[in-house]
Structure 1
């Protein structure tokens, strides 16, 4: 397999292909990532979503409906815990465009976000300034888009954006990284023509107990769950469920979407969906078991 590694949207990417990508392939991938980042990154002063936060109005994007439709389902399933207006809550705790990492008082996200933001196939519109953060599923969406860009490349393709992975072709065996020790895995899974996305409180973490997974209703980082993994045909849905699993309602949404999953509590217990395809390294067996020390 040929491997292409690069940095984009604040994370490391690794694309493996059966054949070496051409310069045109790489340029097309870079252009799609830049297009998505230019539209949706709240960390860019020149992005469309930053302008929406300053001025309101419309953000023209073909990603608007697919992402915000999913956000509506996420919000409904989690009782409002997942909300695309959580950007100001993240900034209040120091996860701002300047990465100040200086925490202030928690700020809850507006519960009426569906009244403030509307969307169509072509655009999202804010009736007043509203800063969107699509972090609950945006990276998965971009992995899907990059996989589509590479649809003309023959053979197997694996697109990995910081642990959000989509596989086309031959199965890839992937470890589920232990959230408290990156040298270990709590299990492995074989992914073929599908996606695996993970989220954990040890990633994008700073300060005492501060990390990027917030309950939008309170603006406070979650405390019960340490890590989640979701398996789905598409990366965006896997990414969305990996976020939802930090909250009540996440397993029900996963079942409704046909997504299998694993999640670990902060005290080390592991739960999984009934049809979960992963092989878990457990000291016991069944729901609520603890992982052993296998690598």
Structure 2
């Protein structure tokens, strides 16, 4: 992890814990800019806030203008929607709510699983303009946190910070000359690691079905074509130049093999399956324990 002499700035945002480590203390103005960016992003994209644009889309159909980051987010989601045959979709929100992962965090299923609406039938995402023909519960959680990490990294650099590590509850972005060693959490025992990786510039993201678990076999990684939790993969790790890309691909690995995703995206990866086996790319920079 970061150099022991680095300074840490910790805060809560978008429902998760953040830690930004820097080689020198951040000024009050820089901290304020970072917090303002988190608040802005949450105010647009959160399905848990009644005042967000995403919540407005869930109440009624219409045409909605979103900030500049929407264009890259929509392009990435559309690509992964097509590659996974609709299994990975930003329209998964209603399926999550059906199983109890709703704005009130009831964690009580309202009934049997329901598939997500088909993108081509209900949503037109053209750059920063989203038009929904029916009320839609948009959930960009598979890539949104990673995108916010990238936005905060850009803020830090604009404030003159070149060496830092952003940790958004396990989604990491590193900048600077000195690599940091990161443990890969065991999918069945958070107190143990299955390996380590040296992060030297760029992003490392993970996704696991043992996080955000409730009920009998219910977790947050759902197949959009059925609305049911995925049972094949249990944990994934990805490394890429951007955190948004690494974050999204960590979820995509639950639906398609990494080798298939490598045909479109430049990244490295590791997937651990429910039978205890693992697969990884030739370029994965980590070391697995035996």
TM-score range, shorter chain: over 0.9
Give the one of 44, 52, 57 matched to 2:57. Answer: 52
Q: Which runs of 4+ in 1 moved over 4 A?
A: none
- SS of residue matched to 1:257: coil
Matched, 1:206 2:214: yes
SS at match of 2:20: strand
The farther-off stretch of 121-130 and 257-266 is: 121-130
1:253 aligns to what? Answer: 261
Are 2:51 and 1:43 aligned?
no
How far does residue 250 in structure 1 lie from its aligned partner after superposition? Answer: 4.6
1:181 and 2:189 are equivalent in the alignment: yes
Report the Cα offset of residue 249 of structure 1.
Answer: 4.8
Q: Specify the alignment match of 1:118 in structure 2.
A: 124
Q: Distance in 2 between matches of 1:263 and 1:13?
A: 25
Aligned to 1:278, which of 269, 272, 286?
286
Contact kept, 8 Å, 1:78 with 1:250, in 2: the verdict is: no
Counterpart CA distance in 2 for 1:139 and 1:154 is 21
**Gapped runs of 5+ residues in structure 1?**
283-295
Shift of 1:126: 1.7
Aligned pair in 2 of structure 1 residues 196, 255: CA closer, same or farther (>3 Å)?
Answer: farther
Q: Deviations over 1:253-291 (max 9, x none)?
A: 234211100011122211111111111113xxxxxxxxx
Q: Is the 8 A contact 2:195 2:289 kept in 1?
A: yes
1:217 alignment partner in structure 2: 225
Q: Which residue in the other structure is 1:18 paired with?
A: 23
Q: Is the 8 A contact 1:167 1:195 kept in 2?
A: yes
Does the Cα contact within 8 Å between 1:92 and 1:105 map onto a contact in 2? yes
What is the match of residue 83 of structure 1? Answer: 89
- TM-score, normalised to structure 2, is 0.94
TM-score (norm 1): 0.92
Q: C-alpha displacement at 1:125, in angstroms? A: 2.2
Mapped pair 1:27 → 2:35: no
CA deviation digits over 1:119-169, x for unaligned, max 9?
344332223322211011111001000111101333411011011110011
| Equivalent residue in structure 1 for 2:171, among 164, 169, 180 | 164
Question: Which residue does 2:236 correspond to in 1?
Answer: 228
The equivalent residue for 1:291 is none
Aligned-residue CA RMSD in angstroms?
1.3
Structure 1 distance, partners of 2:82, 2:238, is 19
| 3-state SS, counterpart of residue 264 of structure 2 | helix
- Structure 2: give runs of 5+ residues left out of the alignment: 1-5
* 1:137 corresponds to which of 135, 143, 148: 143
Equivalent residues of 1:62, 1:123 under 8 A apart = no
| Paired residues of 2:179 and 2:198 also in contact (CA < 8 A) | yes
Per-residue displacement from partner, 1:229-260 (whole Å, max 9, x unpaired)?
Answer: 00001000000110100012553123421110
> How far 1:182 sits from its partner (Å)?
0.7
Larger deviation, residues 79-88 vs 254-263: 254-263
Residue aligned with 2:153, SS? helix
Q: How many residues are aligned here?
A: 281
Q: Distance in 1 between matches of 2:13 and 2:231?
A: 29
1:6 maps to which of 11, 15, 35:
11
Cα deviation, residue 180, structure 1: 0.5
State the match for 1:242 in structure 2: 250
